[in-house]
């Protein structure tokens, strides 16, 4: 798999929750020092599950854990750049906006244009508990905002008009019904 370490390639895959699973609407709790071992075990499986899906970001709620953890990798497959962010928070948003097509592993095969701040600065902790900041624009900015939204129980469809959101969620429900019927 995409440049992952031996631990990540052998990490167990986790099932990704599909909307309307209620866990997707819950707010994740901050990670504390007591959660360190759980987070160290969780992150490799989150990366493995995200890459397998395939996706560019995954929040812990999407695999049923209500810890404030996200993983992202927007780099090309040939040059992976995985980032695990613990307790991420957006500390600066640009006034300028950008619109990009977004999708979600928890709302499979459904896409829509979403407008968000064009640039963000995010404060987080790495797996060793070190405080870090990352400035992002473009796809990385949208991905970080999307995944941090998940930690707050917000989905990309919440940015759409009621009409667009309902159409998209009806298409998803139909696809899920058809898949179960197979």
Backbone angles phi, psi at 107, to 5 degrees: -130, 70
How far is residue 147 CA from its own chain's centroid?
4
Is 178 marked active-site?
no
**What distance in Å separates the CA atoms of residue 52 and residue 12, rounded to the nearest whole number?**
11
Q: Which of 89, 96, 137, 147 is catalytic?
A: 147
Q: Which two tokens stand for residue 114?
A: 């979403």
Residue in 121, 125, 142 with CA at minimum distance from that of residue 68: 125
**Burial class of 58 by CB neighbour count within 10 A (0 to 12, 13 to 18, 19+):** buried
**What distance in Å separates the CA atoms of residue 82 and residue 36, rounded to the nearest whole number?**
19
**What distance in Å separates the CA atoms of residue 56 and residue 5, rounded to the nearest whole number?**
17
**What distance in Å separates the CA atoms of residue 7 and residue 4, rounded to the nearest whole number?**
8
Active site residues: 147
């Amino acid at each position: 798999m995409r440049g992952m370490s031996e631990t990540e390639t052998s990490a167990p895959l986790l099932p990704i929750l599909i909307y309307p699973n209620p866990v997707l609407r819950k707010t994740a709790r901050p990670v504390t020092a007591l959660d360190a071992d759980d987070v160290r075990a969780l992150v490799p499986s989150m990366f493995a599950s995200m890459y397998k899906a395939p996706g560019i970001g995954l929040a812990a709620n999407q695999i049923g854990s209500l810890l404030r953890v996200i993983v992202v990798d927007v780099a090309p497959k040939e040059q992976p750049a995985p980032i695990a962010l613990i307790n991420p928070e957006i500390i600066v948003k640009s006034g300028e906006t950008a619109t990009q097509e977004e999708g979600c592993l928890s709302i499979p095969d459904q896409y829509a244009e979403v407008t968000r701040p064009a640039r963000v600065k995010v404060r987080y902790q790495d797996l060793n508990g070190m405080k870090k900041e990352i400035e992002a624009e473009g796809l990385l900015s949208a991905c970080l905002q999307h995944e941090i939204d998940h930690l707050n129980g917000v989905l990309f469809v919440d940015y759409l008009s009621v009409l667009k959101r309902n159409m998209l969620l009806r298409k998803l429900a139909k696809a899920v019904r058809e898949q179960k019927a197979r």
